Amino acid sequence: MTTAFIADVRRCADIDQGHNGVLRLFAHSYGLQALLAYRLGRYLLRAGRSYYLWPLLLVCWPIYYVLSRCARVAYDIRLELSADIGPGFYVGHFGAIRVRRCRIGANCSIGQLTTISAAADGRGPVIGDRVWIGAHTQIVGPHRIGSDATVGAGSVIQGDIPERSLCLGNPAHLVRHNYNNRRILRLREAVAYPHHAHRDDLPLVSVIIPAYKAAAYIHETLESVFCQTYRNFEVILINDGSPDTEEFERAIAPHRDRIVYISQENRGPSAARNAGIRRARGEYLAFLDSDDVWYPTCLAAQIELALSRQPPCDLVYSDVLVYSDSRQHRRSISTTRGPRPSPEGGGRRMAKSHGGGIRYSEICPSIGPVTFESLLREDCQAPTSCTMVRRQAAISAGLFDENLRRAEDYDLWLRIAHRASNMAYAREVLGKNRVVPGSLSHDNMKMLEGLVDVLRKLSMSLNLSASERSALENKLAAAKAQVDLERGKASLLDGKYDQALASLRAAGSLLANTKLRLAQLGLKFAPRLTRAIVGAWLTGKR
Amino acid sequence: MNSAPVTVAQALERFVRQFAADARFYQGLTRAGPGSLVWTALRNRGLWLLTSHRIAHFCLRRRNVRSPVWWIARLCKSFGAGFNVLCCRSQFAEDCEIDGVAYLSNHGYLLCSALSIGSGSLIHDRCTFGHSVAAGRAGRPAIGKDVWIGPDCVIAGPLTLGDAATVLPGTVLTFSVPPRAVVKGNPARIVRMDFDNSQLRRSLNIVLDVATDNL
């Protein structure tokens, strides 16, 4: 009785904030007074089984009687002893609340004018944990309401309600699957997500979200995390010295009690992610950028994939949808995202069917098994936001390189792959990657330079076999050529013809390409005309 | 907030005037004993609720610690909050603006945190006006003039109920309603436009349905 009632009081204190002191809280919440009588009555029912407690009952039953009668006469709240109500029950307001002959799980809320009772045949409803039941609701008869369900105000339940759903209306019909009622229940995280609630054998996943200037998107991102069907996770949010910290903290305030929040001075995304990894407790690390979102099955699908291999995968990734909010950037997505902008313009196709976005696999398709070489050859490419890494593998590989500001994820994946790791990918689209103009990954030129830095560093630091070495050299040369090409384009448009010619020549030594050769020829004989043509061509492409 | 100071006599006079107007309105509806305002005032718990709400609202608006009127009202108010719950079975948000006379049900079970209630409105028992939490939109309803609201209604969310609208019994309303419309059902829908509810507002009879037109 005491533990259940203490849970009730805690819950009530969480919801009716502003009453400091238990007595004041007790005086102001009518539901709590009724619950006290109810809990006492339930205790006495059980105590009646022991003979030595019978003298106590003689005193206490009249007390119960008076208390419950008071609650009934004064507030018309009737919590009858035939109901089995779990701990952390909250009764909102007062008036015509009837609860009898039913079973209610832990941490539920009900509103005023609600009837929960058995039908004439005596079979009552069974209500799961963490169910929110609105005002004016009637649940009469042997209906089952799943855990985490939400019953809207004024509903009349005439059938079973599945888990995590929202239902409304008379008769009640299902409105949404997978509805998150955490906020309206106002549960604390520790209560809301008992870890290992469903299956004890599933590993804990640490979701790591570095954030920089992300106040506008972070709410959506966090919502997408808390809507995951996979439940065993912790969220670590790192504020990387963002200039909009104040606004950002306001945006995350509703989630603040269920995330681990780290704030540090600006040291780039790698350092932020590393801070998160050091703080993580989970067996797996799932990376999510602050402007991206996951679909609800993301973690579940990736964990399933990772555990399906023997030994379990060190790294799994899946497809994401790359999209942009602004129309202008939507068209240039295919060339700006990812370490590899395809020289043939192969990623230029826009997939209209994916809601204005393009699948990452269309820009960087994944073919065959994931190894160090296939990552280098770009047969396989892992996006940052839908990649999950075993924590041990990331730590063994040496975490993210904090000197890099771009392509740092590619660097880590390569190092993990180099340790002969077990990696896999899913073809499903499990998330959305927002291209934000001005974000770190947006600038094509910088991205390529970052890639060159990564490859140079790896070729020096890793102990490579001959075939790996050649793959790396090829990739490095190609990346350098790309950089030269981009540089050439830029200096051509700026009117620096000599530099442009030199850059294009350097690029041309590797990229045997008619267009490039024509451009070189044009530059030699009619630089201004070429500039005009190239300028027009490039703007046309955008 | 704080307007010109009032003396106790002025405040009392104003209070009695308002009370008399309310009582007369109730008298017209309930047809209490012949011409007896006192009898009406004693019988109608809705009137008690309305009066105690007016006192609480007065405290909120004229917050003036130096004035004896405020202190008297403040004392009445703290008494009134418990009184509302225990005797009228209702709860009213203090800042709800009731401009003019309105009928609140005698049967109680009225939980009101509306922003305003217009004059001449009839509100029956077992109604809830408040936030809509599940939709995630915090906000409170504003209820217009000459509105008829039947029993068992829920009106939730940031919405405006237009003047002379009619809300039929058992409605769960979450959107704004134009003037003179009729809404019904759970979830609510507008079943009729341009309906004259003056007949409804003349008595306390409850209609379950009105003739609908094709919408």
Whether A76 and B89 lie within 8 Å, measured CB to CB: yes
Once rounded to an integer, what is the mean pLDDT over residues A7-31? 84
Q: Which residues form the domain of B159?
A: 97-202
Identity of the residue in A74, A135, A169 whose CB atom sits nearest the CB atom of B187: A169
Once rounded to an integer, what is the mean pLDDT over residues A27-41? 91
Test the A interface: residue of B133, B152, B153 with most A CBs within 10 Å? B133
Residue A323, pLDDT > 60, answer yes
B interface toward A at CB cutoff 8 Å?
85-86, 89-91, 108-109, 111, 126, 128, 132-134, 136, 152, 154, 156, 170, 172, 185-187
Is residue B158 a contact partner of residue B140, using CB atoms and an 8 Å limit? yes
Please name the residue of chain B whose CA is at the shortest distance from the CA of residue A111.
B128
- Return the pLDDT at B42: 86
Identity of the residue in A94, A152, A156 whose CB atom sits nearest the CB atom of B134: A152
- Return the pLDDT at B182: 92
Helix and strand numbers (H, E) in chain A are 20, 24
pLDDT band at A439 (very low <50, low <70, confident <90, very high): low
Please name the residue of chain A whose CA is at the shortest distance from the CA of residue B172.
A154
Residue B152 domain-assigned (yes or no): yes
Specify whether B59 is located in the same domain as B133: no
Specify whether B162 is located in the same domain as B112: yes
Is residue B167 a contact partner of residue B147, using CB atoms and an 8 Å limit? yes
Residue B215 domain-assigned (yes or no): no
Q: How many CB atoms lie within 10 A of CB A465?
A: 11
Whether A95 and B170 lie within 8 Å, measured CB to CB: no
- Give the residue with greater pLDDT, A537 vs A298: A298
Answer with the one of B41, B56, B89 that is the final residue of a domain.
B89
For B65-89, write each residue's pLDDT tens digit: 788 888 888 888 888 888 888 888 8
Sheet with B154-156: strands ordered across: B90-92, B110-112, B127-130, B154-156, B172-173
Q: How many CB atoms lie within 10 A of CB A59?
A: 8
Is residue A198 a contact partner of residue A230, using CB atoms and an 8 Å limit? no
Residue A124, pLDDT > 80, answer yes
- Return the pLDDT at A197: 37
- Cβ neighbours of A166 in B, within 8 Å: 134
**Two tokens at A142?**
């042997």
**Two tokens at B126?**
């077992």
- Return the pLDDT at A46: 86
Specify whether B159 is located in the same domain as B180: yes
Whether A153 and B136 lie within 8 Å, measured CB to CB: no
- Cβ neighbours of A71 in B, within 8 Å: none
- Cβ neighbours of B82 in A, within 8 Å: none
- Cβ neighbours of B89 in A, within 8 Å: 76, 94-95
* One-letter identity of residue A467: S
Question: Any idea of the CA torsion for B89, B95, B96, B99, to the nearest 10 degrees?
Answer: 120
**pTM beyond 0.90:** no
Test the A interface: residue of B90, B91, B109, B125 with most A CBs within 10 Å? B109
Residue B1 domain-assigned (yes or no): no
Please name the residue of chain B whose CA is at the shortest distance from the CA of residue A73.
B86
**Intervals of chain B under pLDDT 50:** 1-2, 214-215
Closest residue by Cα to residue B117 from B93, B138, B144: B144
Specify whether B189 is located in the same domain as B109: yes
Specify whether B36 is located in the same domain as B83: yes
Domain with residue B143: its CATH number is 2.160.10.10
For A459-515, write each residue's pLDDT tens digit: 888 877 888 888 888 888 888 888 888 877 777 777 777 777 777 777 777 666 777
Specify whether B193 is located in the same domain as B101: yes
**Two tokens at B170?**
């058992």
Residue A224, pLDDT > 60, answer yes
* Gap between the Cα atoms of A426 and A386, Å rounded: 10
Residue A73, pLDDT > 80, answer yes
Whether B134 and A184 lie within 8 Å, measured CB to CB: yes
* Gap between the Cα atoms of B140 and A200, Å rounded: 44
- Return the pLDDT at B60: 84
Q: Are strands B122-123 and B148-149 parallel, antiparallel or unpaired?
A: parallel
Answer with the one of B37, B66, B89 that is the final residue of a domain.
B89
- Cβ neighbours of A94 in B, within 8 Å: 85, 89, 91
Distance from CA of A416 to the nearest CA of B (A): 43
Residue B138 domain-assigned (yes or no): yes
Specify whether B55 is located in the same domain as B137: no
Whether B172 and A154 lie within 8 Å, measured CB to CB: yes
* CB environment A138-172: b (16+ within 10 A), e (fewer): bbbbebebbbbbbbbbbbbbeeebeebbbbbbbeb
Residues 6+ apart with CB under 8 A from A66: none
- Return the pLDDT at A442: 54
Identity of the residue in A111, A153, A166 whose CB atom sits nearest the CB atom of B172: A153
Distance from CA of A69 to the nearest CA of B (A): 13
Residue A69, pLDDT > 90, answer yes
Once rounded to an integer, what is the mean pLDDT over residues A359-369? 72
- The overall average pLDDT reported for chain A is 80
**Two tokens at A304?**
């399933």
pLDDT band at A352 (very low <50, low <70, confident <90, very high): very low
Identity of the residue in B85, B170, B187 whose CB atom sits nearest the CB atom of A94: B85
Interface contacts A/B by beta carbons within 8 Å: 67
What are the φ and ψ backbone dihedral angles of A504, each rounded to 5 degrees?
A: -65, -35
Sheet with B116-117: strands ordered across: B97-98, B116-117, B142-143, B160-161
Once rounded to an integer, what is the mean pLDDT over residues A256-265? 85
* CB environment A365-391: b (16+ within 10 A), e (fewer): ebeeebbbbbbbebbbbbbbbbbbbbb
DSSP state of A453: H
**Two tokens at A71?**
């609650």
* CB environment A256-275: b (16+ within 10 A), e (fewer): eebbbebeeeeebbbbbbbb
- Cβ neighbours of A112 in B, within 8 Å: 109, 111, 128
Considering its fold, how many domains does chain B have in total?
A: 2
Residue B213 domain-assigned (yes or no): no
Residues 6+ apart with CB under 8 A from A525: none
Is residue B127 a contact partner of residue B156, using CB atoms and an 8 Å limit? no
Whether A170 and B185 lie within 8 Å, measured CB to CB: yes
* Gap between the Cα atoms of A74 and A27, Å rounded: 13
Give the angle subtended at the CA of A254 by the CAs of A20 and A272, to the nearest 5°: 125
Once rounded to an integer, what is the mean pLDDT over residues A378-392? 81
- Return the pLDDT at A443: 64
Once rounded to an integer, what is the mean pLDDT over residues A74-87? 90
ipTM of the complex as predicted: 0.89
What is the secondary structure of A141-174 as a DSSP string?
SS-EE-TT-EE-TT-EE-S-B-TT-EEETTTTEE
Between helix A444-461 and helix A327-336 the angle, nearest 10°, is 20
Residue B209 domain-assigned (yes or no): no
Answer with the one of B89, B117, B139 that is the final residue of a domain.
B89
Test the A interface: residue of B107, B111, B125 with most A CBs within 10 Å? B111
Residue B3 domain-assigned (yes or no): no
* Gap between the Cα atoms of A34 and A77, Å rounded: 7
- Return the pLDDT at A24: 86
Residue A378, pLDDT > 50, answer yes
- What are residue A293's DSSP bridge partners? A432
Please name the residue of chain B whose CA is at the shortest distance from the CA of residue A113.
B126
For residue A421, how many C-alpha atoms fall within 13 Å in the half-sphere facing its CB?
28
A interface toward B at CB cutoff 8 Å?
30, 74-76, 93-96, 111-113, 132, 134-136, 150, 152-156, 166, 168-170, 181, 183-184
Specify whether B85 is located in the same domain as B101: no
Specify whether B105 is located in the same domain as B141: yes
Specify whether B197 is located in the same domain as B114: yes
Residue A331, pLDDT > 70, answer no
- Cβ neighbours of A75 in B, within 8 Å: 85
Q: How many CB atoms lie within 10 A of CB A445?
A: 13
What percent of chain A stands above pLDDT 90?
15
Whether B185 and A132 lie within 8 Å, measured CB to CB: no
For residue B67, how many C-alpha atoms fall within 13 Å in the half-sphere facing its CB?
20
Specify whether B173 is located in the same domain as B85: no
For A393-422, write each residue's pLDDT tens digit: 888 888 888 888 778 888 888 888 888 678
- The overall average pLDDT reported for chain B is 85
**Two tokens at A166?**
């929202």
Residue B208 domain-assigned (yes or no): no
Specify whether B142 is located in the same domain as B77: no
- Return the pLDDT at A298: 86
Q: Which of A203-217, A287-301, A362-376, A420-434 has the lowest mean pLDDT?
A: A362-376
